[in-house]
Amino acid sequence: MLKRILVLDDNQSILDMVEEALSYEKFQVLITSDSNNLIEIAKIFQPDLFILDDRLVGHKTDGICNQIKWHPKFGNTPVMLCSYYYHLGADFSAIPCDDIIAKPFGLEELVNKVNHLILD
């Protein structure tokens, strides 16, 4: 069975690129920009990994990440943040994510981090 990855971002170009790259690597990928219904979407899709943009219009990613990590069904599911601000030294220590990838990122780096989180 293919590993499932749920990707949340408000940039359609990034969603399309991540979906194409991870689908090529034989992952089942669901992309969305709907942060309001992420848990409901996840209940149906049953992801093995969440990839979240750290800056969503109108939402705080730490709240979304906390919803995932506190949810009884998804508490052990890895969460990776994507951030333009990571390489600028932004402090993400309060966000319960399992990994961070700095934007812009290379597809090889993305695939390596995904493999580390859900295949190792």
CA geometry: angle 66, 99, 84, nearest 5 deg = 90
Q: pLDDT tens-digit profile of 9-59? A: 989 999 999 999 999 999 999 999 998 899 999 999 999 999 998 877 556
**CA proximity to 101, closest of 22, 40, 2, 1:** 22
pTM: 0.91
CATH of the domain at 106: 3.40.50.2300
Q: How many domains does the chain have?
A: 1
Q: Domain limits at 27? A: 4-118
